[in-house]
Every structure is written in C-alpha cells, then in structure tokens.
Chains A and B, each alone.
Chain A
C-alpha cells in the first residue's frame, strides 16, 4: 500500500517536474513545480521524515516558490517569454548530458545498494537531538549565511 503510494507520488513528481521545465509560461511552470514539490513532500513523509516533509511544504512550496512568483510578477515576466520555448535543437545536448548522468547514477545505484535495510523509525526527538547536539556549529553557520543573504538582498534591492 505504501509502496504503491510511493510509486504514484513518484510519477506525479516526475510529471510535474517535466511539465515545469517544458512550460514556456513562467507562472505555470511555478505552479507545476509546486505540485511536484507537494508530492515530493509526501514521499518524504512516507520515508519517515515528517519534519522534512512539513518544511518542504512550508519553505519550498510555500516561501521559495512564492518568492519566485513575486519576482516574476514584479519584473513583469508573467507573459510567455518572447523567445518562447527553446528550440528542439537546444534540447539535444542537455538531454544527452542529463541522460548520461542519469544512466550512470542508475547503474551505480542498482549495483551497490542491495543490502537489506534495518531499523526502526526516526523520531522527531532523535532528529532534534542530532540537529542541535551534533550539528550545532552547522546551525550557527547556516543562520549566519541566512543573515548574509538578507543583508545582500537588501543591498542589491535598495533604491539608488
């Protein structure tokens, strides 16, 4: 049952992503992507990471995508771009490269992770303990990075 759900969600994710990247209308692309992220959040949930799933919804599908949407609207890029969708020829080389990477990862993954899995569920307590005990310094660094990002964004966005 859960496995079936995973595969359905996986298909939804992939379709959403494909639609997002092939959509010439940026706003539509964002919406497809939000769909994709929602299903990805569901996958996280199925993988016993409810906290990450929630963050995914809140931060990614919520904040980040909305930020994108804001910028698109602010810059008035909502219309389909004049150049439109890149031509077929421009897709060839990226697709080949992406295909090579995909196949390589697949090949490696299939061979090397067949060991049986273990262990029970990861509780939120475990997560929090690990986060703040073990990776306390990382938290500090990330928070400082966020601060710098705020300062930088303010600097770039100021009126002159």
Chain B
C-alpha cells in the first residue's frame, strides 16, 4: 500500500464530484452527460481497487472489472439511443427528450 486509503478515497471523491457536476451542468449535451457518468464510474472503480489493495483481497478488482464490462454495455446502448434520438429530433439537448413523462 503506497499511500493511505484516505488519499485514494479523497481522489475518488473528487473525481466523483467532478463527474456529478459534469452530469448536472451539461444539460444541453447528452454526450457530455454520459461522460460525466463515466467519470463517476471511474471514481467508483478507483475505490474498489484501492480497497482491494488495502485488504489484499482480489474481490475489489473483480468488481472493478465488472463495472467496466457494465459500463461498456451501458455506453454502447446509450450512444445508440443518442444516435436514434438525434436522428428523430435532431438535437442532443436532454430536456428535449421527455416522451417518457406521461
């Protein structure tokens, strides 16, 4: 363990907050919103890996891998949706997509 776990968690927290801010701010662009989600997921991965390193257990790394797999699935589907919606509405503004309201 090269650095205390607190520092890793602090880094992860900073990354998570940045991702959250990105998600909230970029309402005019779905792509940036998705990027924010990626950043947050990365932060989560960082915590998993850090924990795994601290306690010497591989489970954390396994979960990091799973997050990664899940993320790729999510990203592929989300980007497919973006393409689909852009084709229909010709915009990537999130607030334009509200058909699910009713």
Interface residues in chain A, defined as those with a beta carbon under 8 Å from any beta carbon in chain B:
2-3, 6-7, 10, 13-14, 17-18, 20-21, 26, 29-30, 33, 36-37, 40, 43-44, 46-49, 51-52, 55-56, 59-60, 63-64, 67-68, 71-72, 74-75, 77, 81, 83, 86, 90-91, 93-95, 97-99, 101-102, 105-106, 109-110, 113-114, 117-122, 126-127, 129-131, 134-135, 138, 142-143, 145-146, 148-150, 152-153, 156-157
Contact = CB atoms under 8 A, between A and B. Distances in A.
Interface in B33-88: 34-36, 38-39, 42, 45-46, 49-50, 52-59, 61-62, 64-66, 68-77, 79-84, 86
B90 to A, nearest CB: 9
Given A68-B79, A106-B13, A49 B52 contact: yes
Contact of B15 (A17, A113, A135): A17
Mostly helix, strand, loop or mixed at chain B's interface? helix
Given A117-B54, A131-B65, A33 B73 contact: no
Contact of B68 (A59, A98, A120): A59
A110 B34 CA distance: 30
Contacts of B81: 156
Contacts of A148: 73
A75 B13 contact: no
B73 A21 contact: no
Consensus secondary structure, chain A interface: helix
B94 interface: no
A153 B77 contact: yes
Contacts of A129: 58
Interface of B: 1-11, 13-29, 31-32, 34-36, 38-39, 42, 45-46, 49-50, 52-59, 61-62, 64-66, 68-77, 79-84, 86, 92
A21 B22 contact: yes
Given A101-B20, A142-B69, A153-B80, 6 more contacts: A52-B49, A60-B68, A94-B25, A97-B24, A113-B9, A117-B55
